[in-house]
């Protein structure tokens, strides 16, 4: 669990045993009006799916980004290694009828997400998530700046 205060907002980040990061927001009533009260208005802000259970968490100075190291299942890493072996075998013997069905994945086709198979790397254990309001643009890790997304910085998901 990690808490961070930025400006008049307080964010609480919590991850239990499942690969999920929960974000709660608390705003002091004194920031909402001039009453000078110290009570908090709190709400559940977001539930972010992670690649695996969270091992460590670091929150940016403005609380708009969270950087985490995650555990990965052994079978996920082994499947990445196996796919590289299949692609190497296909490259060595492109006429093998069994391996030809993997040609698209080995070439990095759109069906495979456009990425060629690769061995596991450090980046497979890191995850960066944004707590920026959906549909907005948060260009800084340090100052709390929220802007409209520039053209081309988003995509429609159907």
Contact 28, 9 (CB under 8 A): no
Q: Is residue 24 domain-shared with residue 80, that is, in the same domain? A: no
Number of structural domains, the chain? 2
Per the structure, the complete domain to which residue 105 belongs is given by 74-112
Q: Which two tokens stand for residue 135?
A: 């549909």
Q: Is residue 30 domain-shared with residue 84, that is, in the same domain? A: no
Q: Please tell me the predicted confidence (pLDDT) of residue 6.
A: 44
Q: Is residue 61 domain-shared with residue 80, that is, in the same domain? A: no
Q: Is residue 44 domain-shared with residue 61, that is, in the same domain? A: yes
Q: Please tell me the predicted confidence (pLDDT) of residue 89.
A: 97
Q: Which two tokens stand for residue 61?
A: 């100075």
The model's pTM: 0.69
Q: Is residue 37 domain-shared with residue 85, that is, in the same domain? A: no
pLDDT along the chain (158 residues), means of 10: 54 84 80 62 85 91 89 94 96 94 87 84 92 80 82 60
């Amino acid at each position: 669990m990690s808490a961070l205060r930025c400006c008049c907002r307080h964010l609480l980040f919590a991850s239990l045993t499942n690969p999920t990061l929960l974000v709660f927001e608390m705003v002091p009533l004194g920031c909402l009006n001039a009453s000078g009260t110290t009570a908090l208005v709190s709400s559940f802000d977001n539930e972010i799916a992670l690649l695996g259970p969270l091992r460590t968490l670091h929150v940016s100075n403005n609380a708009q980004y969270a950087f985490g190291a995650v555990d990965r299942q052994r079978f996920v890493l082994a499947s990445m290694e196996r796919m590289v072996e299949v692609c190497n075998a296909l490259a060595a013997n492109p006429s093998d009828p069994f391996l030809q069905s993997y040609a698209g994945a080995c070439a990095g086709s759109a069906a495979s997400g456009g990425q060629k198979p690769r061995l596991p790397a450090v980046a497979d254990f890191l995850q960066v998530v944004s707590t920026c309001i959906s549909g907005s643009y948060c260009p800084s890790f340090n100052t709390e700046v929220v802007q409209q997304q520039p053209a081309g910085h988003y995509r429609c998901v159907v």
